[in-house]
A and B are shown apart, each in its own frame.
Chain A
Amino acid sequence: MQFFFEVLIGGLLAGVMYSLVALGFVLIYKASGVFNFAQGSMVFFAALTVVGFAGMGVPFWLSIGLALVAMLLLALFTERVVLRPLVNQPQITLFMATIGLSFLIEGTAQLVWGAQVHALDLGVADEPIEWILDRTSMSISKFDLMASGIAATLVAVLAVFFNKTRTGRALRAVADDHQAALAVGISLRRIWVIVWMVAGFVALVTGLLWGARNGVQFALTFLALKALPVLILGGFESIAGAIVGGLIIGASEKLAEVYIGPYVGGGIESWFPYVLALLFLLVRPEGLFGEKIIDRV
C-alpha cells in the first residue's frame, strides 16, 4: 500500500512537470487560438541558452536573464514571421506552421550551442526527503517537491497576472474574441508578443526544472508531445485543466508502468498517455474543463 502511495506521489510530482509544459500551450492557445507545437523546442532552447551561457562562464542568474532576453527575441520573431503572415488561416495551418517553427528553433539551438547533453544543477538534489523517509519510509524526492513548489508559485503568479492586471485583462479579451478586442483598441500584435513572451518564460522555468532532472538534451523537445494528452484531459483553454490533466497523466503513467508494465515487458510510458487520452476523447471530446463545442450550420 505504501509502495502504491510512493509511486502515486512520484507520479503526481512528475505530472507537475507535464503541467508546466501544458501551461505554456494553454497560454498561447487562450490568447491566439494557436496550438503551439513549438512549445517543446522553446523549452529546449531556453534551457540550452542558460547552460550555454553558464558554460561560457557567465554567472548563473545572468545566464537566466540572457535566456529571458532570448525568449523575448524569439517571441518577436515568431509574431513577425509566423503569426502575422498567417493571421486568418485555419487552425490546422497554424498548427503545422508551429511544427515548422519547432524544427527551426531546434536546428538553431543546436547550431549555436552544440548537440551534446548538458548537465544542469539547480542546487537541489534528487534525493529522498529524510524527514518523510524516516517517518513513513516513503521516498519522495526533494527535487520533485521543490519543482512542485515552483510550479504552484508560477500558477499563482499567472492567475494574479491574468485576473488583476490590465494586460491580463487584455489577454483574456483577445482569447475571447479577436474582433471585439480590436474594437476596443487592444493591439493584437502587442498582445501576441506578450503572450509568447510569457509562454517563453514558462518554457524557461520548465526547461530549467526538466533540464536539472534529466539533463538538457534534444529529447526535451518531445515534451511537447507529452503535453498533448494533458491538454486533451484538461481542455485546451483551462489553466486549471492543465494542472489537473498533468497530475492525472503523470500519476497514471507511473502507476501503469509499475503495475501493468512488468506483464508486457515495460516501456509503457511511451504510449500509455496517448491511448489514455484517446479513450478519454471518445467519451468526452472537450476535456474535463473544456467547453462543449456546438456546430452551428
Chain B
Amino acid sequence: MFYREAGQFKSTYAEDQRLFPIRQDRIGMAVILAIAFLVLPIASSAPALRGVIDFNYWYNGVIIPFLIFSLAALGLNILTGYAGLLSLGTGAFMAVGAFAAYNFELRVPGIPMLASFILAGIVAAGVGLVFGLPSLRIKGFYLAVATLAAQFFVVWALTKFPWFSNYSTSGVIAAQKLVAFGYAFDSPVKRYLLVLVIVALMALAAKNMVRSSTGRAWMAVRDMDVAAEVIGIPMMRTKLLAFAVSSFYCGVAGALYAFAYLGNVEPQAFDLDLSFRILFMIIIGGVGSILGSFLGAAFIVVLPILLDIWATWFERTAGIAVPAGLVSNLTLIIFGALIVFFLAVEPLGLARLWQVAKDKLRLWPFPH
C-alpha cells in the first residue's frame, strides 16, 4: 500500500517519459543520492563516528572500487547487455584508459585532470572501434575471440613497449595525484566524491542513451539483427557506436582504477581475470540493465569481503586455521555456482529480481 501508482496520473507523454515515473521511485532515488552525496561524507568526518567505523577502509576498499567497477560494468553492459555483442576484453579497454590518462598527464604539461580522463576515454573508444570492426562480419562467440585478441594484445603491448609506462621496470605506472580545478583530491572522502560525481553523471548519460533511439537500435540489433536492418537501422554504425561508447566507459573506469583506487598499476592488473569478473557482474546483476550493473558490481565486490569476514570469525570461534587458499577457492566456486544459478533461474539477474519485488510491493498487502 505504500508503493502505489494509483492516483498518479500522467497527462502528457513527457510525464510518462520521465526517468522515474512513479513518485515513490523518485523519493527513493532522492534518498539514495542524499545519502551518497551528503550523509556519508558528513558522517565520515564526524569525530564520534570515526572512532567506531574505519571509514577509510570502507572508502578505499569497498565503496570506491564498487563505483569504479559499476562504471566498467556499465560499459560492458552497453556492449554485451544492450547491443548483444559478447566481449571478453573489458580489462584491455580499461588498461588503455589507465595508461592513456597516465601518458596525457605525463606528457602534456598543465592539462586539466578531467581532460586527461575524457581523452583517455576517447583513446579507449578508438581502440574499441578497431577491435569492434570484426563485428560487422562475425557474431556471437566468434566475436568473443576478437575481444580476446584485444585483451591479450593490449596487455602484451603495454608491457612490451616501455614508452607506455615511461620506461619503468615491468611496466608499472604510478598514477599522478588527483588534482582538478586546483583542488587536491587527496583524502579518501574527496576521492570518493570525485569518483561518485563522475560515475553518477556517466550513469545518467547511459540511462538517457539507452532509453532513446540509440538504445533501441542497440536492442534491436541484439534481438534480431536481420529485422533491424530491414526497418532501416544501420548495422555498422550501431555496432561500432556500441563498441566506442562501451570502451569509453571502460576507459574512464580504467583511468579511475589507476588514479583513484590502486595508485600504482601494471598491465597485468587488467588481465583476462578482470574481464571475467566484470562479465560476472553483469550476468549476476542483470544484462541490459543500468541498475543491474551497480547491483552486480556491489555483489562481486562485497562477496569476497564477506567470505573473509566469515573465515576470520570461523577461525576465531572454531579454533581451526583456515587454509590459505580456501577463501579464494570458495569465491571461485560460489561465483561459478551463482552464474549457473542465475542463468538458469533468472537470466535477467538481480535487476529483474528487484523489479519483481517492486511489482509485488505494488500490490502489498494483497497477494495479487
Contact = CB atoms under 8 A, between A and B. Distances in A.
A92 B141 contact: yes
B31 interface: no
A229 B343 CA distance: 26
Chain B contact-residue range equals: 35 or more
A107 B160 contact: no
Contacts of B329: 107-108, 110-111, 115
Contacts of B155: 270
Given A86-B344, A92-B140, A278 B145 contact: yes
B325 A89 contact: no
B153 A89 contact: no
A107 B138 contact: no
Contacts, number: 128
Contact of B333 (A89, A93, A103, A265): A103
A97 B339 contact: yes
A224 B97 CA distance: 28
A181 to B, nearest CB: 23
Interface in B277-308: 279-280, 283
A91 B340 contact: no
A85 B344 contact: yes
A232 B145 contact: yes
Contacts of B18: none
B343 A100 contact: yes
B276 interface: yes
Nearest to B337: A104
Q: Do most interface residues of chain B lie in helix, strand or loop, or is the interface mixed?
A: helix
B156 interface: yes
B164 interface: no
A81 B149 contact: no
Interface in A218-251: 222, 225, 228-229, 232
Contacts of B338: 100
B204 interface: no
A104 B336 contact: yes
A267 interface: yes
Nearest to A266: B160
Contact of B336 (A95, A107, A114, A225): A107
A79 interface: no
B79 to A, nearest CB: 13
Interface in A1-51: 35
B138 A86 contact: no
Contacts of A277: 145, 149
B340 A104 contact: yes
Nearest to A110: B329
Central interface residue in A97, A282, A285, by most chain B CB within 10 Å: A97
A266 B161 CA distance: 11
Given A103-B276, A228-B148, 14 more contacts: A85-B345, A92-B86, A97-B339, A97-B343, A103-B339, A104-B332, A107-B336, A111-B325, A111-B330, A228-B144, A232-B145, A271-B156, A282-B137, A285-B138
5 contacts: A85-B345, A105-B336, A232-B142, A268-B156, A281-B146
Of all A-B residue pairs in the complex, the 3 with the closest CB atoms, nearest first, are A100-B339, A107-B332, A104-B336
